[in-house]
Structures are given as structure tokens and as C-alpha cells.
């Protein structure tokens, strides 16, 4: 089985969300006959998941708009998070009926994909019990690299993981990221500098995430054929 891969580059959130919806419908119906991994970077946007608690957005919608930052309520699980250029967002459209019909299992697989990918570029990362996501932990403390929020309909997934690669992280000051008080957000580029390792670049991180996502789900990564892409437009 294949994992089709589509890299949209810098794309507005609403455009990518529309594609996710069409891909999910096609995967449920069988018109899309393989799982799909959508990769994207978004212009600045704050997204509010179904579990967002009052007060975790620290500024008004008007303030965000004045800074050119969009605000969206979304159907994924989890709390508030940020997307911005330099962050790699991955949206797996995966039919769990062909894997394991368990969202907790799926979340751990997504975490594992990120942990393995970052391991290949020299960053040892970890999970934190009770907190979804991927973290770096050392004598200086605990820092969060990747936020994960998912949704499933008829066991087909949407939404996914936001991995901070080389974004400047400043937008996170407007929220309580993922609803976790006093969390420290970090990025691959920052962590490479802290560890005195060469930063491999965004393309290498993207390629590692594709390879490891395919491996974790037992699939063969393949570029999305144009004939299939045309049916999702």
C-alpha cells in the first residue's frame, strides 16, 4: 500500500482545509484508494480546537486581525495552537480501518513519526505522559517541538501535526499553546543550535518526516499522481 504525498508549499489555512475535506470524503468513498499525507506551511493563523478553554487566547480577535493573523475555529481535538511560515504542518488522511481503529493508537503513531524523523537529523526527542505532542528534554528543562490535534470521520483522519522547524515562534506569545501553562515552545533550528549540531534545513526535515510517517504506518511514500490530484481539486 502507498502513502501518497502532496506538498502544497505556503498555502492559506482555508484552502488546505478545503482540500482535506475533499480528500477525506474521497478516502471514505474509496475514490481515493490510498492514504494521503498533505504537507503545507500556513500564513499566520491561530486555530481553536474543540477543547479550547476560555482565556487561552490571550489577545482579542481584533488585535490578531491588526497583525495580519487569521483566527479559525476548527473541528480537531485539542486546544489553541499557532501556524506560521517556517512551521511544517502535516495532514495525514489515513483510513484507520486499514490500520488500527483506535485514535489513541493513531496519536502515538503520529508522535512516533515525528520522533523518528527528528532522530534522523540528530535530535533525540520524547513524549511526555499525559500530554500529546513531541518534546525535547534536558538539564535546561522541557521544550515542545510539535503539536498534534486530530479528527476522524468514519475512521478516516484529518488535521494532524504542526512541527516547528525554523519559524521564529513569536506568535505563540498570543496564546497558551495547547492549553499548557508555562510551556516553552521551540523549533528544530533552535534545538540544533542548543545541541551544537548543524541545522539540516527545512527540506531535510520534511523528507525525514515523509519517510518516517510512511515507515510507521507500513506504507510506501509516493508522490500524489496528477490524475488523482485532479479529482481532489
Tens of pLDDT, residue by residue over 189-222, are 999 999 999 999 999 999 999 999 999 999 999 9
Model confidence pLDDT, tens digit, residues 153-168: 999 999 999 999 999 9
Distance CA 130, CA 142 (A): 14
Number of residues written out for the chain: 233
Asked if 2 and 222 touch (Cβ cutoff 8 Å), the reply is yes
> Would strands 131-138 and 141-153 be described as parallel, antiparallel, or unpaired?
antiparallel
Q: Indicate the average pLDDT of the chain.
A: 95
Asked if 216 and 209 touch (Cβ cutoff 8 Å), the reply is no
User: For position 77, what pLDDT does the model report?
Assistant: 86
- Residue 178 falls in the annotated catalytic set: yes
Distance CA 33, CA 1 (A): 9
Active-site residue, selected from the candidate residues 26, 115, 169, 178:
178
Domain covering 2-231: architecture: 2-Layer Sandwich (3.30)
DSSP 184: -
- Name beta bridge partners: 157: 152
Asked if 208 and 92 touch (Cβ cutoff 8 Å), the reply is no
Nearest residue to 148 (alpha-carbon basis) of 184, 103, 208:
103
65: its cell numbers:
486581525
Amino acid at each position: 500500500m502507498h502513502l501518497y504525498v502532496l506538498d502544497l508549499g505556503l498555502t492559506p489555512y482555508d484552502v488546505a482545509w478545503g482540500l482535506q475535506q475533499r480528500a477525506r470524503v474521497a478516502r471514505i468513498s474509496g475514490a481515493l484508494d490510498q492514504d494521503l499525507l498533505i504537507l503545507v506551511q500556513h500564513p499566520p493563523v491561530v486555530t481553536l480546537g474543540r477543547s479550547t478553554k476560555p482565556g487561552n487566547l490571550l489577545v482579542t480577535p481584533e488585535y490578531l486581525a491588526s497583525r495580519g493573523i487569521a483566527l479559525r475555529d476548527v473541528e480537531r481535538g485539542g486546544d489553541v495552537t499557532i501556524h506560521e511560515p517556517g512551521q511544517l504542518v502535516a495532514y495525514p488522511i489515513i483510513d484507520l480501518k486499514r490500520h488500527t481503529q483506535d485514535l489513541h493508537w493513531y496519536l502515538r503513531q503520529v508522535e512516533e513519526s515525528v520522533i523518528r524523523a527528528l532522530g534522523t537529523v540528530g535530535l533525540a526527542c520524547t513524549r511526555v505522559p499525559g500530554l500529546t505532542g513531541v518534546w525535547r528534554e534536558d538539564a535546561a528543562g522541557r521544550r515542545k517541538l510539535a503539536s498534534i490535534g486530530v479528527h476522524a470521520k468514519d475512521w478516516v483522519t484529518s488535521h494532524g501535526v504542526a512541527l516547528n522547524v525554523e519559524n521564529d515562534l513569536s506568535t505563540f506569545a498570543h496564546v497558551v499553546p495547547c492549553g499548557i501553562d508555562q510551556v516553552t515552545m521551540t523549533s528544530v533550528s533552535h534545538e540544533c543550535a542548543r545541541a551544537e549540531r548543524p541545522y539540516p534545513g527545512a527540506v531535510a526535515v520534511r523528507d525525514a518526516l515523509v519517510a518516517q510517517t510512511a515507515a510507521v504506518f507500513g506504507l510506501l511514500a509516493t508522490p500524489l499522481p496528477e490524475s488523482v490530484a485532479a479529482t481532489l481539486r
